[in-house]
């Protein structure tokens, strides 16, 4: 096969190869345990600055106490904080969860909306979280951009943009709408397992034969602000595609 030499060609080949490596729909690929849009939205809010595994340890108790938006909307903040304490930033997250649920009840009849424009009106919900919910829970176009998507889209030469919204819009033009959510999650999985921030495993990468950064990415994009006489190296954030 001829090596793809344009962003569009690399995007198409990346989409094809990663789909074979990480098969399934966006819902299949999502690491957050959930049933339905409400649970996914709450879990995604909780996932900020923590791991999927930690969130999945907390959500069974959370949803047992608050199975739907009306129940969460009337939650006692202290009791909710106790349940989600181990996810970190628990006070802010509790406020956002209650505020989100109150917004869902007041503005959307207790059902999580599917439109991005509606989702971002809810407490604790930005564009990335809205895209997670749209693509995973509703099967609609939505391409969440996190640190992994940012890193891989630049290393693969899909875009030179650094702003998450601009990266999303650039990738949207290169990937079919039906694949937006799954493509994002596959980049995230590949970023965690292979295209690691500090030490990319180019020798194990299925994209290395056409990746412009193969075998040179770590030295090209990882130097950040020095601290105490040492070179600080950007590591992998704990937060998910949410």
Catalytic residue (one of 52, 82, 118, 128): 128
38 in a structural domain: yes
**With 70 as the cut, is the pLDDT of residue 165 above it?**
yes
Q: What residues are paired with 227 via a beta bridge?
A: 230
Per-residue model confidence as pLDDT tens digits over 81-109: 999 999 999 999 999 999 999 999 999 99
Domain termination site, one of 116, 137, 158: 137
Q: Can 128 be counted among the known catalytic residues?
A: yes
| Token pair 């079919």 in the structure block, residue | 176
Question: Model confidence at 2, in pLDDT bands (50, 70, 90)?
Answer: confident
The reply to whether 82 and 113 lie within a common domain is: yes
Place of tokens 């040492």: 230
What is the pLDDT, as a whole number, of residue 217?
A: 60
Residue 242 lies in a domain: no
Q: How far apart are CA 48 and CA 238, in angstroms?
A: 8
Domain identity same for 133 and 173: no
In total, how many domains does the chain have?
2
Same domain for 153 and 128: no
Note whether residue 235 is domain-resident: no
- Between CA 180 and CA 19 the distance in angstroms is 12
239 found inside a domain: no
* Statement to judge: residues 20 and 33 lie in one domain: no
Of 54-58, 181-185, 231-235, the one with minimum mean pLDDT is 231-235
The burial of 239, by beta-carbon neighbours within 10 Å (0-12 exposed, 13-18 middle, 19 or more buried), is given as middle
Q: What is the DSSP string of the chain?
A: -PPP-SHHHHHHHHHHHHHHHS-S-HHHH--S--SHHHHHHHHHHHTTTS-HHHHHHHHHHHHHH--SHHHHHT--HHHHHHHHGGGS-HHHHHHHHHHHHHHHHHHHTTS----HHHHTTSTT--HHHHHHIIIIIS--------HHHHHHHHHTTS----SHHHHHHHHHHHS-GGGHHHHHHHHHHHHHHTS-SSS--GGG-TTTTT-TTTTTHHHHH-B---BTTB--B----S----
Question: Do 160 and 131 share a structural domain?
Answer: no
146 is catalytic: yes
Same domain, 85 and 126: yes
- Whether 75 contacts 66, CB under 8 Å: yes
- For residues 125 and 191, state if they share a domain: no
97 is a domain residue: yes
Would 199 be classed as within a structural domain? yes
Catalytic residue among 52, 93, 146, 179: 146
Q: What is the pTM of this model?
A: 0.86
Mean pLDDT, rounded, of the chain: 91
pLDDT at 216: 86
Residue 171 pLDDT class (50, 70, 90 cuts): very high
CATH number of domain containing 152: 1.10.1670.10
Looking at the domain assignment, is residue 232 inside a domain? no
Domain, as residue range, for 193: 7-25+143-221
34 and 118 both lie in a single domain? yes
Instruction: Say if residue 129 is in the same domain as residue 164.
Output: no
CATH number at residue 82: 1.10.340.30
Quick one: pLDDT at residue 231?
Answer: 22
Looking at the structure, do residues 115 and 185 belong to the same domain, yes or no? Answer: no
Same domain, 174 and 79: no
Of 106, 137, 168, which residue is a domain's last? 137
**Is 226 within a domain?**
no
Q: Are residues 21 and 59 in the same domain?
A: no
Q: What percent of the chain has pLDDT over 90?
A: 87
């Amino acid at each position: 096969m001829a090596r793809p030499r344009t962003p569009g060609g690399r995007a198409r080949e990346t989409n094809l190869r990663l789909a074979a490596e990480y098969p399934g729909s966006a819902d299949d690929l999502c690491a957050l345990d959930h049933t339905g849009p409400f649970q996914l939205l709450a879990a995604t809010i909780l996932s900020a600055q923590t791991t999927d595994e930690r969130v999945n340890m907390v959500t069974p108790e959370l949803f047992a106490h608050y199975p739907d938006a009306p129940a969460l909307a009337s939650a006692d903040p202290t009791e909710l904080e106790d349940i989600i304490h181990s996810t970190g930033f628990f006070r802010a997250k509790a406020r956002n969860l209650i505020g989100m649920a109150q917004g869902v009840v007041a503005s959307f009849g207790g059902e999580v909306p599917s439109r991005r424009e509606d989702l971002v009106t809810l407490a604790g919900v930005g564009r990335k979280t809205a895209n997670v919910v749209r693509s995973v829970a509703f099967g609609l176009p939505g391409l969440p951009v996190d640190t992994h998507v940012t890193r891989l889209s630049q290393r693969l030469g899909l875009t030179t943009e650094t702003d998450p919204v601009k990266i999303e819009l650039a990738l949207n033009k290169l990937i079919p709408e039906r694949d937006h959510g799954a493509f994002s999650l596959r980049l995230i999985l590949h970023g965690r397992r292979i295209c690691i921030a500090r030490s990319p495993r180019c020798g194990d990468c299925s994209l290395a034969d056409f990746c412009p950064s193969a075998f040179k990415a770590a030295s090209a994009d990882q130097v950040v602000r020095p601290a105490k006489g040492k070179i600080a190296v950007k590591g992998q954030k704990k937060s998910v595609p949410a």
